[in-house]
């Protein structure tokens, strides 16, 4: 049983996996695994970039996304004549001959991982680079994995992968994805604390936050900045204290990360 493991802490957002996937499949027909991907319009591998927080407290997150080769795949259920099938190694593939005209396969994927090829009249998606795994190639790994110079993408036997603490995208869909993510970004709250009387940043101020009954703690650095990481999506209260002065701020990380900007500690 194979699976993908993507470590988001290692990913630097270089897009080499996305480019490698394009290079492998655009204009190259790997029948019977997949027909050629058109030059534009399809992303079998897509690195999603999200800007989080507010200037000056901003972070960028990168999440490489692809077909999840789901254990409980809606695309398989929507396909007629077995046009979407699962291999022995658990990769989910679309048969480009049997799938002709079956646009429903595109609509069935909740992850929008399937694309419609207008010219060939077929749905297409990531094949796990099965042509490389099966074929007589010196490198028998998916092209996106081979292209990643920081080893952020690993494809292998599930029993040999360390999946503890990993997460999948949208578990609520109930599809049981086989692409696992390590270090999925959680919410943060950040700010800069300063003393308005002396017009200086406050170094070493104690910052605590309570969210969902859990306490998070840090201190401001040499620039008066603090970053509280790995917060849940919740309402919370922040307490800033230094030199006998205390300030409380309510925040919400329910829908986004929070950059509080400059905070006077009067």
Q: Which residues of the chain form contacts with ligand SF4 (CB under 6 A)?
A: 11-17, 20-21, 24, 44-45, 47, 62, 64, 66-70, 73-75, 92, 109, 111, 113-114, 125-129, 142-144, 147-148, 150, 152-153, 175
- Is 30 or 188 the residue whose CB approaches ligand SF4 more closely? 30
Residue 132 carries which DSSP code?
H
- Is 14 or 184 the residue whose CB approaches ligand SF4 more closely? 14
Going by C-beta distance under 8 Å and a sequence separation of 6 or more, which residues neighbour residue 263?
191, 192, 193, 194, 240, 247, 249
Angle at CA 133, nearest 5°, toward 173 and 91? 20
Helix (H, G, I), strand (E, B) or coil at 216: strand
- Is 44 or 226 the residue whose CB approaches ligand SF4 more closely? 44
Sheet of strand 2-7: strand arrangement: 153-157, 2-7, 179-182
Closest distance of CB 235 from ligand SF4, Å = 33
Residue 235 carries which DSSP code?
E
94 φ/ψ angles, rounded to the nearest 5 degrees: -100, 125
Closest distance of CB 159 from ligand SF4, Å = 20
- Is 71 or 195 the residue whose CB approaches ligand SF4 more closely? 71
Contact by Cβ (8 Å): 245, 203: no
The closest alpha carbon to 167, from 17, 44, 2, 8, belongs to 8
- Is 24 or 257 the residue whose CB approaches ligand SF4 more closely? 24
- Is 142 or 191 the residue whose CB approaches ligand SF4 more closely? 142
Give the pair of three-digit tokens for residue 131. Answer: 């042509």
Judging by DSSP bridges, how do beta strands 153-157 and 122-124 pair with one another?
unpaired
Closest distance of CB 88 from ligand SF4, Å = 16
Alpha-helical (H) ranges within 100-255 are 104-108, 130-134, 143-147
Closest distance of CB 147 from ligand SF4, Å = 6
- Is 16 or 95 the residue whose CB approaches ligand SF4 more closely? 16
The closest alpha carbon to 13, from 68, 59, 69, belongs to 59
Closest distance of CB 162 from ligand SF4, Å = 17
Closest distance of CB 155 from ligand SF4, Å = 7
Give the pair of three-digit tokens for residue 143. Answer: 């092209």
Closest distance of CB 119 from ligand SF4, Å = 19
């Amino acid at each position: 049983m194979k699976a993908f493991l993507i470590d988001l802490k290692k990913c630097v957002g270089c897009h080499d996996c996305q480019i490698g996937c394009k290079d492998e499949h655009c204009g190259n027909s790997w029948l019977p695994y997949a027909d050629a991907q058109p030059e534009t319009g399809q992303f079998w591998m897509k690195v999603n970039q999200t800007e989080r927080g507010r200037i000056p407290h901003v972070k960028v997150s990168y999440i490489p996304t692809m077909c999840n080769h789901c254990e409980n795949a809606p695309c398989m259920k929507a396909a007629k004549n077995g046009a979407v099938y699962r291999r022995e190694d658990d990769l989910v593939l679309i048969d480009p001959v049997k799938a002709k005209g079956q646009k429903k396969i595109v609509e069935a994927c909740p992850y929008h991982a399937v694309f419609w090829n207008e010219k060939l009249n077929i749905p297409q998606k990531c094949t796990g680079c099965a042509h490389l795994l099966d074929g007589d190639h010196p490198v028998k790994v998916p092209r996106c994995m081979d292209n990643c110079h920081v080893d952020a993408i690993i494809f292998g036997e599930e029993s040999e992968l360390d999946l503890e603490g990993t997460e999948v995208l949208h578990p609520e869909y109930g599809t049981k994805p086989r692409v696992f993510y390590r270090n999925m970004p959680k919410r943060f709250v950040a700010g800069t604390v300063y003393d308005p009387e002396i017009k200086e940043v406050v170094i070493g101020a104690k910052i605590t936050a309570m969210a969902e009954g859990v306490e998070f703690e840090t201190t401001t650095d040499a620039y008066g900045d603090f970053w509280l990481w790995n917060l849940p999506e919740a309402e919370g209260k922040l307490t800033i204290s230094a030199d006998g002065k205390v300030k409380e701020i309510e925040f919400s990380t329910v829908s986004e990360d929070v950059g509080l900007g400059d905070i006077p500690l009067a």
